[in-house]
């Protein structure tokens, strides 16, 4: 029977191509708009590390001015001071911990054919790799001893290894940054990060890090952060004064493998700040935060309000398209009352007629969904063109494809309910008068 | 006009009326708010930065090597730049308007203030800054050569003199000229020697975006520095192409990068706003098209359903124009009811947007203008089917089907 | 009241010419009650349409109440129709979404009467057909006979000179049919000219005069319709009175 209804539905749609085209177009457009925005929204806000996003926490301490909060809504600063980062690293009270900041260094390639170029480097601790789990292609991260001894070592990203060494195993070789040679201890495999979620302070979709080195090494070389730097009172002149100042320019992540560990770490942080208060720092009331990955992404509005507005708008648009489709289906099915009366007279039950027309609606939905899928693909191309930085999140994955088709069919069925019900209320006799 | 009978007939079969009315209502609500947002974004995008954007570009120099003398290089570079053909002025700087990154600082009227009087940005510039940026001096004077000092990055800058933007001058000294007055940064005094008409901060969303301060200093960022170049009209691209080569020739121990015109800086700064405006624009057009097509579809359907009735009316003496007017009136009534609901929705949506996103209130004239636009759209959309209705021959009344 | 002389109506498709009316002549005087009879396909509906200015004709002359109809544009015919003619259709043709008051109101609106005059005329018309008490009811709430009476009220409300009835009792049972016919006779007694098209000879008998139409031509007599030629494409064969 279902195949029969399918046949009938397709034939009926072919018989009135303009009306069918209008209905399909309406659904396709509405679906395309909704799915384009939903895809971007879904990927932007998606958990980047779902198997442990609730274990990784971002440390925030409120060392800000007693006269003025860092942020009007009472949130603590989004970075920590050097002193505090180092103290927390030394205390090592989490399962893993990594302080970090970003620097820019000139790379002087061995290969004289290549011009020197600037490179974005993440200065961080060796735990970073265990925490955020990038895959290694060659070698491994440096170890804690190398952290402590501010060794001149680096881990290369996949792309820069391609550029400098043609993608070969370059472990053991060296790369010269700003006149100093660093030994390559590891090379990462392609790391498909949608957003650089471990450092949201310069924008979630900013350029990715090209290499990694121990932050102790960067400090040893007196390299300033290329990221944000905020101070509420100026430090005295000089590098050492800068390190002991209350300027915030580092990010601090910890991994806590159980809720008990989380609670214990919270307590540890409170105690730490209270100790520091005794030394005259932290004039503001206690305001520590330990947001996990998803909470932190929401806090930093990775999913921008523009995206939210667009998604809402797209669904409102879909609603209009649906109402439109209801009207068109109503028009179509009402004209069929003769056929319905006939079928009923020939023995079709009300439910059979209902099903037949619901299937016809479903066929409209399926067609609209397929075309909508193509349009969604085009829509995502447009998003990538308009928002260059969203290259990584404007792509269809299989979940979204399935959702598109399902949404289209569901929408069409929903739109078809009322017209179908109306059409089926027809009394057979009234329609059969000659 | 036969409004009452039409209305009463519509009330008898509300469904089709609701379908069109709902589309019109949603369309009005969305289009009004979307247009408002587009207007806001366009206004934002057209904010003047205060600097010349047609003839200027900037680029960065990142030196390497243990013996790299950043300050000497800076001064040498400026001489080279100024000697290049097609260049009218060049200066060193840490930032430009719309670039998104820079130095934020508080200025106070008295030392020891708990909170600063105004939040400003520091543009740490070399000589020829006013010409290179294209800022317009409206009071006081430019920096003198002897006022320029050099410091290492990380040391706090304390210049003797600064130039401020007019907005900042008015904020600090609303009732008098700012020239010659002292302001305090980090409790150290500095004197305002000049006021420029306008200079935006680098951060697009700053609440104090018009408050900018120019400091006469050479302050490289470690081994890095940035230069702003003002070219002769029409020669900017030519100079942009030549500059990297020239700089490497002058000193090969560095990397020249991020050569970008200020026009491109503006384009990138407002890329999201432009994208939003485009997307909203497309949605508005699509919505209007869908609603119009929906009206055409439903109206055509009604005309076909009521052929007998149309014939009867004609038989009873209606002219073609009477029939046309009937359908236009019917559409007008439905559209009006939809628009009333839509107006309520539009304000509701605006309130919600205000609460969620702290956006400003929808100005009162958007909804009335939207009313008129959608009335016109509806009447145009129904014109086709209504004309077809008017052509139904009176003889239809006597047909017996 | 009305005179048609040598009226002709031809339908032309690509290859075929069909004469719905050929050399059709008829004269109806003021105050007459004429029944136009004939088998289906004879052209009586076409005659009715032309008589009621619902269709144009291709040849001949038609004078309605002193006005020469030939050459009138669509608007002029609508005006004439509205002022001079009242229609009664076989399937009543009431507008289902309007109540009785509004249904009778329709032709008055096109006349341009003000609201008080319309109200008065509607109430009088509905009273005349005995349905004044149900003014606010809808057609679906009435029986067939009652609906036809509302249609008659609608036809009368504008004080027409001529009432054109197309099978007025075709959709009614015999009881209702009789009621409607009595009403029509009453109206005719009060002075309105009536031309009624019907294929029912019993109904035709109640009119003053019968006009018989076969194959687009008039045969005017009171007797039974004559034999039709087997080949209906031929020119008319009619018994002569």
Dihedral (C-alpha) A44, A49, A51, A55: value to the nearest 10 degrees?
A: -110
Measured between alpha carbons, how far is residue A397 from residues A320, A385, B91, B107, B229 in Å? 27, 19, 49, 51, 46
Test B313 with C106 for CB contact under 8 angstroms. Answer: yes
The 3 state secondary structure assigned to B17-29 is HHHHHHHHHHHHH
Three-state DSSP state, A79? coil
pLDDT digits (tens, 9 = 90+) for A59-97: 999 999 888 888 888 899 999 999 999 999 999 999 999
- List the single residue in A with minimal CA-CA distance to B64: A178
Residue A429 has a pLDDT of 57
- For the record, the structure tokens of A215 come out as 């932050």
Q: Do B153 and A224 touch (CB under 8 A)?
A: yes
- Answer for the pair C20, C46: CB distance below 8 angstroms, yes or no: yes
Q: Which residue on chain C is closest to B13 by alpha carbon?
A: C97
When divided into structural domains, chain C yields a total of 1
Distance in Å from the first CA to the final CA of chain A:
30
How much of chain B, in percent, has pLDDT values that exceed 90?
A: 69
| Closest-approach residue (CA) in chain A for B185 | A234
> Does C110 sit within 8 Å of B8, measured CB to CB?
no
C207-220: average pLDDT: 79
Tell me what the pLDDT averaged over chain B comes to.
91
What CATH number is given to the structural domain containing C85? Answer: 3.40.50.300
On whether any CB of chain C is under 8 Å from the CB of B318, the answer is: yes
Return the minimum-mean-pLDDT range out of A400-409, B46-55, C224-233.
C224-233
Task: Give me the pLDDT at residue A348, please.
Answer: 74
CB neighbour list of residue A105: distance below 8 Å, 6 or more residues apart: A118, A119, A121, A177, A178, A223, B64
Q: Which of B10, B12, B319 sits opposite C74 (nearest CB)?
A: B319
Chains touching chain C, criterion 3+ CB pairs below 8 Å: B
Contact residues for A278 (Cβ-Cβ < 8 A; gap 6+) = none
pLDDT confidence of A428, banded at 50, 70, 90?
low
In the DSSP assignment, the letter for residue A154 is E
Interchain CB contacts (distance < 8 Å): B and C = 93
Query: Which residue(s) pair with C86 in the sheet?
Result: C163
Instruction: Decide: A160 and A210 in contact? Cβ < 8 Å.
Output: yes
> By the CB < 8 Å criterion, does A41 face chain B?
no
Q: With contact defined as beta carbons under 8 Å apart, do A222 and A170 qualify?
A: no
pLDDT at C173 over 50: yes
Per-residue tokens: C69: 């109809």
Chains A and C touch (3+ CB pairs under 8 A): no
Confidence of residue B347 (pLDDT cuts 50, 70, 90): very high
B191-208 pLDDT per residue, tens = 999 999 999 999 988 889
Can you give the residue ranges of every domain in chain B?
3-46+271-398, 65-252
What pLDDT is recorded for position B129? 95
Contact B271 A22 (CB under 8 A): no
Using a CB–CB cutoff of 8 Å, tell me whether B181 touches chain C: no
**Rounded mean pLDDT of A244-249?**
91
Query: Which helix or strand (DSSP H or E) is residue A96 part of?
Result: strand A96-108
Question: Angle at Cα B283 formed by Cα B280 and Cα B284, nearest 5°?
Answer: 85
Residue closest to A223 by CA, chosen among A157, A280, A178: A178
| Beta-carbon-side half-sphere exposure of residue B198 (alpha carbons within 13 Å) | 9
Half-sphere exposure of residue A170: CA atoms within 13 angstroms, side-chain side = 27
Dist. CA B159–CA B147, nearest whole Å: 8
Least confident of B27-36, B383-392, C228-237: C228-237
* Residue A187 confidence (pLDDT) above 90: yes
In a domain, C65, yes or no: no
What is the model's pTM?
Answer: 0.82
What is the pLDDT, as a whole number, of residue C125?
Answer: 92
In a domain, C231, yes or no: no
Q: Tokens standing for B192?
A: 């305002």
Q: List CB contacts (< 8 A) between B317 and chain C.
A: 78-79, 81-83, 107, 110-111, 158
A234-248, C60-74, C216-230: the lowest-pLDDT one: C216-230
Give the model's confidence band at C22: pLDDT under 50 very low, under 70 low, under 90 confident, else very high: confident
For C29-95, the DSSP string reads -TT-EEEEE--TTSSHHHHHHHHTTSS--SEEEEEETTEE-TT--HHHHHHHHHHHEEEE-TT----
Interface residue B398 vs chain C (CB under 8 A) = yes
Residues on chain C touching B395 (C-beta within 8 angstroms): 49, 54-55
- Which of B66, B186, B293 shows the shortest C-beta gap to A179? B66
CB nearest B64 (choices: A179, A316, A422): A179
Is the pLDDT higher at C229 or at B374? B374
Q: In chain A, which residue's Cα lies nearest the Cα of B221?
A: A224
Q: Are strands A248-255 and B212-218 parallel, antiparallel or unpaired?
A: unpaired
Assess contact for A196 and A208: CB atoms under 8 A.
Answer: yes
Q: Is pLDDT at A347 greater than 80 in this prediction? A: no
Q: What is the pLDDT of residue C121?
A: 93
Q: What is the pLDDT of residue B321?
A: 93
Between the CA atoms of C106, C107, C109 and C110, what dihedral angle is there, to the nearest 10 degrees? 130
How many A/B residue pairs have CB atoms within 8 Å?
138
The CA distance from B110 to B240, in Å, is 44
User: Taking CB atoms and an 8 Å limit, are C55 and B393 in contact across chains?
Assistant: yes
pLDDT confidence of C236, banded at 50, 70, 90? very low
Contact A323/B254, CB-based, under 8 Å? no
Contact (CB, 8 A) for A261 and A64? no
Quick: pLDDT tens for A202-212: 777 878 899 99
The tokens describing B280, both together, are 């909203």
Look at residue C219 and tell me whether its pLDDT is greater than 80: no
Task: Spell out the alpha helix ranges (H) of A149-258.
Answer: 158-165, 215-220, 239-243
For A313, nearest residue in chain B (alpha carbons): B30
Q: Are A227 and B221 in contact (CB under 8 A)?
A: no
How far B303 CA lies from chain C's nearest CA (Å)? 14
- Measured from the Cβ of residue C23, the count of other Cβ atoms closer than 10 Å reads 16
**pLDDT tens-digit profile of A136-175?**
999 999 999 999 999 999 999 999 999 999 989 999 999 9
The residue of B317, B334, B392, B394 whose CB has the most chain C CBs within 10 angstroms, and thus the best one to mutate to test that interface, is B317
Contacts of C154 in chain B (CB under 8 A): 316
Structural domain boundaries, residue C105: 30-57+72-211
**Chain B residues near residue C99 by CB distance under 8 angstroms:** 8
The tokens describing B325, both together, are: 């007017």
Query: A 197-226 residues with CB below 8 A of B?
Result: 223-224
* Chain mean position to CA B74: 35
In total, chain C counts a number of residues equal to 241
Per-residue model confidence as pLDDT tens digits over C79-94: 888 888 998 988 888 8
Rounded to an integer, what distance in angstroms lies between the CA atom of residue B345 and that of residue B348?
5
CB atoms < 10 A from the CB of C140, how many?
10
Residues 6+ apart with CB under 8 A from A224: A103, B153, B154, B221, B222
Q: What is the pLDDT of residue C241?
A: 29
pLDDT at A424: 78
Within 8 A of B321 by CB-CB distance, chain C residues are 75
Share of residues in chain A with pLDDT > 90 (%): 51
pLDDT of residue A430: 56
Window 386-405 of A: residues touching B by CB (8 A cutoff) are: 386-388
What is the per-residue pLDDT across A52-62, written as a single tens digit (0 to 9) for each? Answer: 999 999 999 99
Q: Would residue C221 count as lying in a domain?
A: no
Q: Is 80 exceeded by the pLDDT of residue A346?
A: no
Digit-coded pLDDT (tens) for B93-137: 999 999 988 888 889 999 888 888 999 999 999 999 999 999 999
Task: For residue A68, give the DSSP letter.
Answer: S
**Segment of A387-396, B151-160, B306-315 carrying the highest mean pLDDT:** B306-315
């Amino acid at each position: 029977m279902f195949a029969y209804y399918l046949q009938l539905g397709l034939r009926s749609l072919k018989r009135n191509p303009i009306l069918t085209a209008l209905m399909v177009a309406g659904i396709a457009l509405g679906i395309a708009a909704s799915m384009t925005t939903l895809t971007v929204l879904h990927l932007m806000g998606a958990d980047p590390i779902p198997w442990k996003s609730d274990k990784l926490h971002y440390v925030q301490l409120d060392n800000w001015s007693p006269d003025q909060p860092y942020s009007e809504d009472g949130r603590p600063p989004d970075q920590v001071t050097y002193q505090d980062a180092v103290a927390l690293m030394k205390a090592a009270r989490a399962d893993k911990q990594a302080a970090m900041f970003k620097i820019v260094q000139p790379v002087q390639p061995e290969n004289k054919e290549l011009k020197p170029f600037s490179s974005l480097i993440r200065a961080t601790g060796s735990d970073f790799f265990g925490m955020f789990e990038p895959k290694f292609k060659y070698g491994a991260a440096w170890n804690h001893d190398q952290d402590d001894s501010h060794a001149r070592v680096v881990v290369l990203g996949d792309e820069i290894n391609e550029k400098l060494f043609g993608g070969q195993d370059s472990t053991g070789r060296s790369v010269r940054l700003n006149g100093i040679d660093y030994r390559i201890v590891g090379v990462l495999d392609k790391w498909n990060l949608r957003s650089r979620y471990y450092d949201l302070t310069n924008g979630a979709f900013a350029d990715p890090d090209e290499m990694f080195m121990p932050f102790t090494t960067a400090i040893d070389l007196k390299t300033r952060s290329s990221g944000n730097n905020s101070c509420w009172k100026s430090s005295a002149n000089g590098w050492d004064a800068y390190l002991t100042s209350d300027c915030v320019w580092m990010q601090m992540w910890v991994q806590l493998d159980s809720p008990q560990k989380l609670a214990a770490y919270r307590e540890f942080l409170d105690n730490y700040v209270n100790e520091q208060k005794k030394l005259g720092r932290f004039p503001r009331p206690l305001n520590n935060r330990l947001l996990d990955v998803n909470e932190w992404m929401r806090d930093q509005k990775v999913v921008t309000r523009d995206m939210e507005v667009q998604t809402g708008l797209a669904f409102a648009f879909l609603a209009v398209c649906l109402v439109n489709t209801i009207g068109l289906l109503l028009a179509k099915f009402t004209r069929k009352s003769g056929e319905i009366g006939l079928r009923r007279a020939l023995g079709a039950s009300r439910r059979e007629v209902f099903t037949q027309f619901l299937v016809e609606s479903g066929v409209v939905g399926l067609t609209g969904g397929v075309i909508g899928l193509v349009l969604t693909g085009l829509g995502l191309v447009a998003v990538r063109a308009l928002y260059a930085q969203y290259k990584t999140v404007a792509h269809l994955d299989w979940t979204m494809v399935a959702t598109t088709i399902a949404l289209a069919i569901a929408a069409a069925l929903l739109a078809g309910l009322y017209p179908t019900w109306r059409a089926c209320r027809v009394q057979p006799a009234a329609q059969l008068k000659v | 006009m036969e409004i009452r009978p039409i209305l009463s007939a519509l009330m008898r079969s509300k469904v089709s009326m609701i379908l069109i009315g709902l589309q019109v209502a949603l369309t009005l609500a969305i289009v009004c708010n979307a247009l408002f947002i587009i207007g806001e974004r366009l206004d934002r995008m057209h904010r003047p930065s205060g600097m010349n954007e047609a003839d200027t570009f900037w680029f960065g120099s990142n030196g390497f090597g243990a013996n790299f003398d950043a300050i000497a290089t800076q001064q040498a570079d400026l001489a080279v730049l100024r000697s290049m053909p097609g260049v009218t002025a060049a200066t060193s700087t840490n930032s430009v308007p719309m670039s998104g990154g820079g130095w934020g600082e508080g200025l106070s009227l008295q030392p020891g203030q708990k909170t600063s009087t105004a939040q400003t940005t520091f543009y740490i510039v070399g000589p020829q800054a006013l010409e290179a940026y294209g800022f317009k001096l409206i009071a006081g004077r430019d920096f003198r050569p002897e006022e320029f000092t050099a410091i290492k990055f990380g040391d706090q800058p304390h210049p003797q003199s600064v130039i401020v933007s007019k907005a900042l001058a008015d904020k600090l000294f609303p009732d008098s000229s700012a020239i010659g007055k002292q302001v305090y940064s980090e409790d150290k005094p500095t004197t305002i020697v000049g006021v420029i008409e306008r200079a935006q901060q680098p951060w697009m969303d700053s609440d104090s975006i018009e408050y900018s301060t120019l400091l006469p200093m050479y302050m490289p960022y470690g081994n890095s520095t940035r230069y702003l170049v003002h070219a002769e009209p029409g020669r900017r691209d030519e100079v942009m192409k030549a500059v990297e080569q020239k700089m490497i020739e002058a000193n090969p121990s560095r990397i020249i990068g991020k050569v970008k015109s200020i026009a491109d800086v503006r384009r990138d700064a407002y890329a999201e706003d432009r994208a939003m405006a485009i997307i909203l624009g497309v949605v508005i057009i699509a919505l209007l098209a869908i609603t119009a097509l929906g009206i055409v579809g439903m109206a055509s359907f009604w005309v076909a359903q009521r052929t007998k009735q149309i014939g009867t009316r004609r038989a009873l003496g209606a002219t073609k124009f009477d029939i046309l007017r009937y359908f236009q009136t019917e559409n007008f009534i439905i559209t009006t009811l939809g628009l009333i609901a839509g107006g309520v929705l539009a304000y509701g949506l605006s309130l919600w947007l205000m609460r969620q996103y702290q956006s400003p209130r929808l100005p009162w004239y958007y909804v009335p203008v939207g009313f008129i636009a959608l009335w016109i759209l509806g009447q145009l959309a129904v014109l086709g089917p209504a004309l077809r209705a008017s052509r139904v021959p009176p003889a239809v009344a006597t047909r017996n089907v | 009241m009305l005179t048609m002389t040598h009226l002709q109506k031809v339908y032309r498709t690509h290859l075929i010419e069909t004469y719905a009316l050929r050399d059709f002549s008829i004269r109806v005087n003021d105050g007459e009650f004429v029944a136009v009879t004939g088998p289906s396909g004879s052209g009586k509906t076409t005659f009715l349409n032309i008589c009621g200015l619902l269709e144009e004709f291709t040849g001949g002359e038609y004078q309605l109440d002193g006005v020469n109809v030939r050459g009138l544009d669509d608007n002029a015919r609508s005006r004439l129709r509205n002022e001079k003619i009242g229609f009664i259709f076989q399937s009543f043709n009431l507008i289902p979404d309007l109540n009785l008051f509004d249904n009778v109101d329709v032709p008055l609106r096109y006349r341009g009467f003000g609201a008080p005059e319309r109200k008065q005329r509607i109430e009088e018309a509905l009273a005349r057909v005995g349905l004044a008490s149900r003014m606010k009811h809808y057609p679906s709430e009435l029986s067939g006979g009652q609906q036809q009476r509302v249609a008659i009220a609608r036809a009368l409300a504008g004080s027409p000179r001529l009432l054109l009835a197309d099978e007025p009792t075709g959709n009614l049972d015999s009881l209702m049919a009789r009621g409607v016919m009595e009403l029509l006779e009453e109206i005719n007694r009060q002075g309105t000219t009536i031309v009624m098209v019907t294929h029912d000879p019993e109904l035709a008998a109640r009119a003053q005069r019968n006009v018989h139409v076969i194959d687009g031509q008039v045969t005017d007599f009171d007797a039974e319709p004559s034999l039709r030629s087997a080949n209906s494409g031929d020119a008319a064969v009619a018994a002569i009175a």
